[in-house]
Copies of this chain bind each other. A is one copy, B any other.
Amino acid sequence: VDAPVKNLPQLTQASAPLTQAVDVIDAEGQPRAVSIPAERDLTLYVDKREIITLMTLGAHPEWLTLGYLLNQRMIRHAYELESITVDWSVNASAVKTRFTSESAPHNRGKRIVTTGCGQGTLFGSLMDELDSLHLAPAAAITRDTVFAIVQAIRERDTVYKNAGSVHACALFEGSDLRCFIEDVGRHNALDSIAGWLALGDLQQQTAPWVLYTTGRLTSEMIIKAAQMGVSIVISRSGMTQMGLEIARRLGVCAIGRALNRHFLCFSAEHRLIAG
């Protein structure tokens, strides 16, 4: 018999302007027009129950919604959802699940507070899960691939270049850019990547996933990467102590300070290979 068909959720493709022009005064006292990133509130509802309000740039609100629910452990798979409907006229993302009242996980609606700003309890809750994570031992990256990824990010036209004040996350398959997300919150950017990934067909993968982020490599970045099955993470920024401890424990290759042809490899050096 065939495996049961697992349908992916139906998604809207709600889009919204990513930047806004504003009038400012410069240091010479002269009026100027500059762009700043758009920022809008998006309230998530799961089966009509309000879950949380996210502040987001709004580039890919459906992926953000899906990735948020996955990373908060409120769902385990994209096919648990029937639809995600984003409506910017009411700043709402309405999620319809396939759960019956019996199949709904007990932790639905139980929100995990994130540690990203150094305040939260995600760390504690997730540490228990860490030992169940097993990353592919053979996943590796060459120095030239690190350089190629940094170069690809630098050449990209971005909201950051136009308006500043956003973080970017990108997922590469080897040196091929597969998904690029900017957001006012770096957790939103990473959650959106997780949402995109959960909609894809991983059997087609030909090279290891590599996660690039403009943000620091904190404990939460490393944990979320590992939960996505990503064992190589690159940042143009640095690394915190807790991020490093967890990267070493999980065997995540954490590469920081990646700019031009420089970088520092903080952990899992065996994944960084010649070439």
Contacts and interface: CB of A to CB of B under 8 A. Distances in A.
Interface string A168-194: 000000000000000111111000000
A123 B25 CA distance: 27
Max count, chain B CB within 10 A of own CB: residue among A41, A123, A219: A41
B115 A55 contact: yes
A47 interface: no
A155 interface: no
Main secondary structure, interface of A, reads: mixed
Contact of A22 (B25, B121, B164, B266): B266
A119 B54 CA distance: 5
A187 B264 contact: no
A124 B43 CA distance: 11
A239 B165 contact: yes
A130 interface: no
Given A117-B117, A163-B238, A165-B238, 13 more contacts: A25-B264, A26-B263, A26-B265, A39-B240, A39-B241, A39-B243, A68-B119, A111-B113, A113-B113, A114-B119, A117-B188, A118-B185, A118-B188
A25 B39 CA distance: 38
A53 interface: yes
Contacts of A216: 165
A187 B241 contact: no
